[in-house]
């Protein structure tokens, strides 16, 4: 399995190096994190894109094209007291914009995961279809359906999960009103895991803008739920979880190139109608550069929850580089 992972990595790097001659956007991301229950992980994400298209926030130098192509490589290494695994994923994506209002994307590829003390497995396929509609400047909706490993949605904390595949569907709705000063957003995802477990995820928020771009301050309130139909010890799987509380998002640009930002939320939560407590999530960082040319981003994330006088903390450092070619 180690040989297979190495082969996938070499193929990915070769394909990326060839694609850069025709591509015009390269993005790389590195993340390192750990938790108080002695779980450590690192991520590496590399993306090469030809004719990058952003329907919701177009680039100033975006080419007059209705088609874009993307190559995507993702690697994660994670270990805990009783498990360890390496995960590699390679995806290709094609996107098309219709009438400057609707965008359809289809992606497909393969992945492999190597668990210690687990028999080797072969390459497995994955795929996803995204439909994004921007009906006007104030309202958009996004739909997706996909099939693949559930590692992006579930933080694994156990063993024998090398074949935990998921069929996923989801929808996102966002609407701005009162001259774009108020934004309401709803996200709902459902995952059908191959072990018979189903996961429902729901998040909603209402945010008010106190300043406009390039500086902004957004404050509001959010409500979040996550439920599983069965409990398992291999990952956090509450059968009835909800949280609510204030949210904050702010940014300040100093000289057109240096940006400082901070965001997060504070929550009161209840789990399985038994456990209750408080928690927070924050992300802060610095970004240097111009979006249409080059940006370097250094950020810190921290997530903490407290219940019954016990605290759980997860934290990570992330470096993100973006370059137009």
pLDDT in tens, 211-236: 877 788 999 999 999 999 888 777 77
Whether the bond between 214 and the residue before it is cis, its omega within 30 degrees of 0, is yes
Chain centre distance of CA 70: 17
Q: What is the pLDDT of residues 125-176, one digit of tens each?
A: 889 999 999 988 899 999 999 988 777 667 666 666 656 778 999 999 999 9
User: Which pair of tokens denotes residue 283?
Assistant: 């992300």
Contact 34, 315 (CB under 8 A): yes
Map out the domains of the chain as residue ranges. Answer: 2-324
Digit-coded pLDDT (tens) for 23-32: 488 999 999 9
Q: Residue 305: which of 239, 224, 250 has the closest Cα?
A: 224
Residue 4 pLDDT exceeds 60: no
At residue 81, the 3 state secondary structure works out as coil
Strand 258-271 to 67-79 pairing: unpaired
- Domain 2-324 sits in CATH at 2.40.160.40
Percent of the chain past pLDDT 70, that is, above it, reads 85
Average confidence (pLDDT) over 78-98: 88
Confidence of residue 293 (pLDDT cuts 50, 70, 90): confident
HEC string of 92-146 equals EEEEEEECCCEEEEEEEEEEEEEECCCCCCCCEEEEEEEEEEEEECCEEEEEEEE
| Average pLDDT estimate for 68-96 | 89
Question: Please, what is the average pLDDT of the chain?
Answer: 85
Instruction: Please classify residue 82 by burial: count the beta carbons closer than 10 Å to its beta carbon, then call 0-12 exposed, 13-18 middle and 19+ buried.
Output: exposed
Is residue 313 scored above 70 in pLDDT?
yes
- Number of Cβ within 10 Å of residue 204's Cβ equals 16
Q: What is the model's pTM?
A: 0.84
Residue 188: per-residue pLDDT: 97
197, with CB counted inside 10 A (0-12, 13-18, 19+), is buried
Report the SS3 class of residue 232.
coil
């Amino acid at each position: 399995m180690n040989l297979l992972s190495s082969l996938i990595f070499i193929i990915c790097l070769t394909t990326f190096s060839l694609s850069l001659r025709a591509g015009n956007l390269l993005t790389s991301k590195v993340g390192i994190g750990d938790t108080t229950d002695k779980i450590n992980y690192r991520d590496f994400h590399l993306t090469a894109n030809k004719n990058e298209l952003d329907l919701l926030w177009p680039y100033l130098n975006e080419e007059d094209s209705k088609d874009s192509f993307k190559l995507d490589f993702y690697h994660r290494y994670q270990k805990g007291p009783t498990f360890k695994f390496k995960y590699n994923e390679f995806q290709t994506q094609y996107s098309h914009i219709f009438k400057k209002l609707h965008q359809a994307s289809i992606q497909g590829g393969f992945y492999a995961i190597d668990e210690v003390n687990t028999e080797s497995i072969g390459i497995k396929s994955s795929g996803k279809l995204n439909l994004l509609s921007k009906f006007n400047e104030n309202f958009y909706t996004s739909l997706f359906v996909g099939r693949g490993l559930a590692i992006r949605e579930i933080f694994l904390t156990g063993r024998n999960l090398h074949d935990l595949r998921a069929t996923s569907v989801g929808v996102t709705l966002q609407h701005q009103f009162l001259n774009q000063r108020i934004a309401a957003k709803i996200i709902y995802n459902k995952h059908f895991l191959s072990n018979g477990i189903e996961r429902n995820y729901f998040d909603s928020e209402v945010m008010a803008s106190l300043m406009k771009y390039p500086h902004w301050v957004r404050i509001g309130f959010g409500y979040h739920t996550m439920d599983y139909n069965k409990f398992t010890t291999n990952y956090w799987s509450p059968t009835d979880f909800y949280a609510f509380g204030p949210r904050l998002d702010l940014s300040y640009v100093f000289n057109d190139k240096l940006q400082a930002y901070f965001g997060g939320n504070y929550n009161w939560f209840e789990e399985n109608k038994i456990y209750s407590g408080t928690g927070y999530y924050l992300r802060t960082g610095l970004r240097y550069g111009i979006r249409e040319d080059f940006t370097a981003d250094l950020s810190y994330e921290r997530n903490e929850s407290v219940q019954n006088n016990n605290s759980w903390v997860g934290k990570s450092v992330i470096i993100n580089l973006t370059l137009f070619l």
